[in-house]
Amino acid sequence: MATSISPFLLYSDGQGNIFEDTSLYVLGRSGWDAVEVDPEDWIPLPEGGNLYELPGRRGIGMDVLSGEIRLCEKGWAVAAFIPPAHTGFYMAAYETLPDAPTLPLFCYTAAGWHNDVFYVPAIRIEQDIRQECAGFDDIKIQEGLAVSLNAYPNNRLVKHLAENCCLTYHCPAARNYFMGRWECPIPISPACNANCIGCISFQPEEETIVSTQDRLTFKPTAQEVIEYTVPHLQTAPLPIVSFGQGCEGEPLLMWETIREAIIEIRKHTDRGSININTNGSNPKAVEALMKAGLDSIRVSTNSAREDVYTKYYRPNNYTFHDIVQSLKIAGEMGGWTSINYFVFPGMTDSAAELDALRKLIEETNLKMIQWRNFNIDPDWYLGKINVQDTGERYGVRQFMDIIHEEFPDIKYGYFNPPKERMLHFDQDFAH
Ligand code: SF4
């Protein structure tokens, strides 16, 4: 529940201890600028959120007495990693000192302190509870691991989901699978045809940051996919099985195997939804998968503008036009179409982006926008895509309002909806 407040700036002593500076109100960041945050935009830091100290960076705040904008010299800047289902409106505002290390691939939302509570400028954009940290039961997960590993002893994919995804990366999708509920992951491709600057499964040697997961090292067979996904679709509540996960490359590079799996899965059950999270690079493959029985597609993008997209994705053998075609074809063939929209305050809510997003929605008849926090070092990102000035901007909340008013049928969320929700989408993006 948003409240009208002006929180104090937070700083860290470099030892992991965080303090409030009551001489400074916290500001937010949009593009390259430190800006005031609308007092209505603050919500308590949701459960599952974390606070980060940002080494080599000084927080920027507003003097509570003079209103002067100045640095906090008491320690390092602090930011929040807000949990899934929430979208941040502003990043943390700070000045980066020379030699400051590049920040790892997390989101850095503004954070402040008020009446003994941490606050962030954000909104709960999704009511689905599938990644609520309080909802994960380690005993049930251990039981599910034992049952699955025993049931599928030779299945490399189940072994990968158990040892890497669930037990090493603590992936919420893998843990939900081993708890026998909701969305089940199907990583399928060890390779990719894009070279995203902030790729979470592969970072080139020359970069100082590391990927948050290691990329899959083998090509699963259709049989390995079918073996554990059919029982999940037949038994789980609100079941979804999703190709395209954070621990792999691009699933469309394996479309023939995916098609074979979908056809076989649908011979066993018509329950649940079969989804693909993809970079949308191959519209022909998408058409073939829709014919085979694919239900929904989510195309990831940092922007609806071709130039901004291309500078970030650095595609090998496809163009922005292909991802538009993939969404268009899937929509025309009755599929549920979403974009996995990496929200970067200052870039996303800019006037240029608004025009481009309107065009994308109209051209593809898009059904849903998943407003995802962009997990990337802001300075590093803007530097890599060579942006000095992000231009006129609306603020992320107002940007969402504008799109909602112009396209009232488009759904907002954070996760792929199950079939049951596609049919009756309880959209409550009213605030
Ligand atoms: S499309 Fe996905 S796997 Fe490929 S480079 Fe981009 S983030 Fe990485």
In SS3 terms, 266-280 reads as HHHCCCCEEEEEECC
Instruction: Please determine, for residue 8, whether its predicted confidence score (pLDDT) is greater than 50.
Output: yes
Residues 6+ positions from 396 with CB-CB distance below 8 Å: 87, 88, 89, 90, 343, 345, 348, 349
Q: Tell how far the Cα of 288 is from the centroid of ligand 1, in angstroms.
A: 22
User: Rounded to whole angstroms, how far apart are CA atoms 418 and 406?
Assistant: 26
- Cα-to-centroid distance, 349 and ligand 1 (Å): 23
pLDDT of residue 297: 98
Percent of the chain with pLDDT strictly greater than 90: 97
Ligand 1 centroid, distance to 195 Cα (angstroms): 6
In the structure, what pLDDT confidence band is assigned to residue 426 with cuts at 50, 70 and 90? low
Tell me what pLDDT residue 428 has: 52
Which band of pLDDT confidence, cut at 50, 70 and 90, is reported for residue 2? low
Angle formed by the axes of helices 320-332 and 306-313, to 10°?
Answer: 110
Q: Where are the beta strands (DSSP E) in 40-116?
A: 42-44, 50-54, 57-63, 69-71, 76-81, 86-88, 91-92, 94-96, 112-114
- Domain locations in the chain as residue ranges: 8-124, 133-423
Task: Using the predicted structure, report yes or no on whether residue 1 has a pLDDT greater than 60.
Answer: no
Phi, psi at 379, each rounded to 5°: -60, -45
Predicted confidence at residue 234, as pLDDT, reads 98
Q: Is the pLDDT of residue 318 over 70?
A: yes
Residue 293, by phi and psi: left (phi above 0), alpha (psi -120 to 50) or beta? left
State the average pLDDT over residues 359-371. Answer: 98
Give the three-class secondary structure for 87. strand
What is the average per-residue pLDDT within 380-392? 96
Q: What is the pLDDT of residues 290-306, one digit of tens each?
A: 999 999 999 999 999 99
pLDDT band at 430 (very low <50, low <70, confident <90, very high): very low
**pLDDT mean over 358-377:** 98
Is the pLDDT at 389 greater than 90? The verdict is yes
Pocket probe mutation, ligand 1, options 105, 192, 281, max atoms within 8 Å of Cβ: 192
| Contact residues of ligand 1, CB 6 A cut-off | 192, 194-196, 199, 201-202, 249-250, 279
When pLDDT is averaged across residues 324-331 and rounded to a whole number, the result is 98
Helix (H) or strand (E) holding 318: none
pLDDT tens per residue across span 76-134: 999 999 999 999 999 999 999 999 999 999 999 999 999 999 999 999 999 999 999 99
At residue 168 the predicted structure's pLDDT band, cuts being 50, 70 and 90, is very high
Nearest residue (by CA) to ligand 1, atom 6, is 196
Q: Measuring from atom 3 of ligand 1, which residue has the nearest CA?
A: 249
Give me the percent of the chain exceeding a pLDDT of 70: 98
* Residues near 371 by beta carbon (within 8 Å), at least 6 away in sequence: 87, 125, 341, 343, 400, 412, 413, 414
Q: Which of 200, 201, 212, 381 has most ligand 1 atoms within 8 Å of CB, for mutation?
A: 201
Structure token pair of residue 239: 């079941």
CA 377, 383, 388, 389 torsion-angle sign: negative
Looking at domain 133-423, its CATH superfamily turns out to be Aldolase class I (3.20.20.70)
Q: Is the pLDDT of residue 4 over 80?
A: no
Q: Which of 105, 199, 203, 252 to mutate to test the pocket of ligand 1 (most atoms within 8 A of CB)?
A: 199
Q: What integer is the mean pLDDT of 120-149?
A: 97
Tell me the sheet residues that pair with 77.
Answer: 11, 54
Q: Which ligand 1 atom minimizes the distance to the CA of 215?
A: 3
Q: Which residues contact 123 (CB under 8 A, 6 or more apart)?
A: 2, 43, 86, 87, 89, 397, 400, 431
Beta-bridge partner residues of 92: 28
Closest CA to 261 of 233, 298, 292: 292
For residue 289, the one-letter residue type is L
Average pLDDT for 162-179: 97
For residue 431, pLDDT over 50 is answered with no
pLDDT at 427: 57
Residue 191 Cα, ligand 1 centroid: separation in angstroms?
9
